[in-house]
Structure 1
Amino acid sequence: MELHDLVRLTTGVALLTCVLAVVGVHVYASGRAQRAALIDRLSHTGTVPGGGRRRRFSDLDRRLRRTALGRKLELRLAATGLDVTPGEFFVYMLAAVAALWLIGQATLAPFFGPLAGLLGIWASVQFLNWQRQKRIERFINQLPELARILANATQAGLALRTAIGMAAEELEAPAGEELAKVADQLAIGHSMDDALGELAERLPSRELVVLVTTLVLSNRAGGQVVGALRNLTETLEERKETRREVRTQLSQVTMTSYAVPVLGIGALFLMNGVKDGALERMTGSPVGQACVVIAFALYAVGFVLIRRMSRIDV
């Protein structure tokens, strides 16, 4: 009898342990899923309720964000305004590198495969820089209207925080999106200096720095913010026209900087087309490989020098 009771007690304890284990695993899994969903919402990588698209490579994206490279890439993507996560961009970049590697190796010579892969990485970085600069230019063009809205709102007696939220609703992207981020940061307790400082770091420009400095000083020490914003509006309008004229004058030089490396790559295809296998024989020796590397380096130096010489800060 005592042995039978001991067996029943042991069986009951084992069943209870199994039930608790199942409940514990379920709670752990649901908690981990909620944590992942919260991270996705905070980092704008999840599916937006009621719309949006499903994000790809979410596991890779979470692992990449924990690294220094992933954090830098996330900041760069945030500045471009692209609806792409760091994980997605990283996978797309690797796919482009692999495709260029295979194309360069198949169409030219095996030696050009790694060079084409490096070209893919450079092109991806340049694409992000181009998108970021384009967004900065669009934001700069909206700064006069932004300063005008802030001046009218503060003249009507509204606080600067309220004026920023109003401007975020009235302005289109990218100014509306960036100001919405500033308003959200202010709503959760960030100071005006920190919120506007992060805005200036995301979209660096002299015009935005002047506007941010004016708002920060007016918020910190008080003063005639309305008059300062109205004067700043006129100045920004003049700088906007000046920047447009300078960009128009330098458009030919900009196209020349891109035409130089394109001509070099086109010459390689021309040589290989005139005499099939010429590039493979040329790169079959260390001297030929060194000459190709030096030629690519000179083209890169020419591209950088032309861009630097045509850069005029207004």
Structure 2
Amino acid sequence: MLSSTWPVTGIVLLACVLGVLGIHTYARGTADRAALVARLAQSGEAQDTGRRRRRFRSLDRRLRRTAFGRKLDLRISATGLDVTPGEFVAAMTVLVLALWIAGQAVLSPFFGPICGLVGIWVALGFLNWQRQKRIEKFINQLPELSRILANATQAGLALRMALSMAADELDAPAGDELEKVAQQLAVGTSIDDALGELAERLPSRELVVLVTTLVLANKAGGTVVSSLRNLTETLEERKETRREVRTQLSQVNLTAYAVPVIGIGSLLLIDNMQPGALDRMTGSGLGQVAVVAAFALYVVGFVIIRRFSKIDV
């Protein structure tokens, strides 16, 4: 008779996947709605109703006073998600508690804290994945951004006006990020500070080169048009090179994620073949040390494979 471990495990994993997809869909829908309301408000067809009502405001205020909260807020703003640090920490806490309880019920009480740590890793990994995906989209738009700035500068527009025009013409995420830069410039922020904050939100070599070119041109003047046109060609070549490298390393990246999945699957297989085996294994100190060492080795293997597959272009 088959154990009930597999159905429970499948339900828990399905709930986690659906939860992550639900948060992602909700955030994208909220961002699309905000963009639609903004366009309608500009055309006079509708009034901007503002942002949605925030939850966990007290927790959000406490987090923003800490260094961790400020770093978390900067990272969330780079993802483009309409989520506050307080809401993210609350959702991560619920995920950790759910995985903790599921690990204790499905495997053994010893695996509860380990599953809780996995929940923290999943939440932060989702945030990094959204941030990296947005950075990639922004990098792909940099050649067009450089081309627009070169044309606007050649037409005699100041750099502030060129950035504002690029914010209106480009789609998200470049349009949204340049809109923030334009708003900062409108309230008196210097170009150096506004562009420097943009490079800090979306760190990449391509953006750093573009920001450095614009800052130097703004300070010293010179042939900014020719510099931007040369930069446009360079960014186009780097875009193609990055795409080829990412395609070549796709199998290696898949292997990095397959290694820990195989380890977890082996534990579930052992518990299914011999019910109660995990309880007996983690009932002694030696078994607990062996499990922790095994998980640590899987983490080390994951990190090493990811390091080998990371090629800076």
Cα deviations across residues 227-264 of structure 1 (Å, max 9, x unaligned)?
10011000000000000000001000001000000111
Instruction: Give the equivalent residue in structure 1 for 2:229.
Output: 230
Shift of 1:53: 2.5
Larger Rg: 1
Shift of 1:306: 0.2
Instruction: Give the equivalent residue in structure 1 for 2:238.
Output: 239
Shift of 1:66: 1.3
Shift of 1:57: 1.2
| AA at the equivalent of 1:71 | R
Instruction: Give the equivalent residue in structure 2 for 1:122.
Output: 121
Instruction: Give the equivalent residue in structure 2 for 1:282.
Output: 281
Number of matched pairs: 268
**1:273-312 mapped onto 2 (5 Å cutoff):** 273-312=272-311
Shift of 1:51: 5.1
Distance in 2, Cα, partners of 1:216 & 1:138? 23
After TM superposition, the structure 1 stretch with the greater mean CA deviation from structure 2, 201-210 or 57-66, is 57-66
| AA at the equivalent of 2:89 | F
Cα deviations across residues 194-247 of structure 1 (Å, max 9, x unaligned)?
111111111111100110010000000000111100110000000000000000
**Which fold has the larger relative contact order, with Cα–Cα distance below 8 Å and residues 6 or more apart in sequence?**
2
Shift of 1:63: 1.8
Instruction: Give the equivalent residue in structure 1 for 2:132.
Output: 133
Shift of 1:289: 0.2
After TM superposition, the structure 1 stretch with the greater mean CA deviation from structure 2, 91-100 or 61-70, is 61-70
Runs of 4+ in 1 over 3 A off after TM superposition: none
| AA at the equivalent of 2:172 | A
**1:58-97 mapped onto 2 (5 Å cutoff):** 58-97=57-96
Shift of 1:127: 1.3
Instruction: Give the equivalent residue in structure 2 for 1:253.
Output: 252
2:81 is paired with a residue whose SS is coil
| AA at the equivalent of 1:304 | V
Instruction: Give the equivalent residue in structure 2 for 1:207.
Output: 206
Instruction: Give the equivalent residue in structure 2 for 1:181.
Output: 180
Distance in 1, Cα, partners of 2:298 & 2:78? 29
TM-score normalized with structure 1 length: 0.84
1:163 is paired with a residue whose SS is helix
Instruction: Give the equivalent residue in structure 1 for 2:29.
Output: none
TM-score normalized with structure 2 length: 0.84
| AA at the equivalent of 1:306 | I
The yes-or-no answer on 1:156 pairing with 2:155 is yes
Distance in 2, Cα, partners of 1:234 & 1:253? 30
Distance in 2, Cα, partners of 1:51 & 1:71? 23
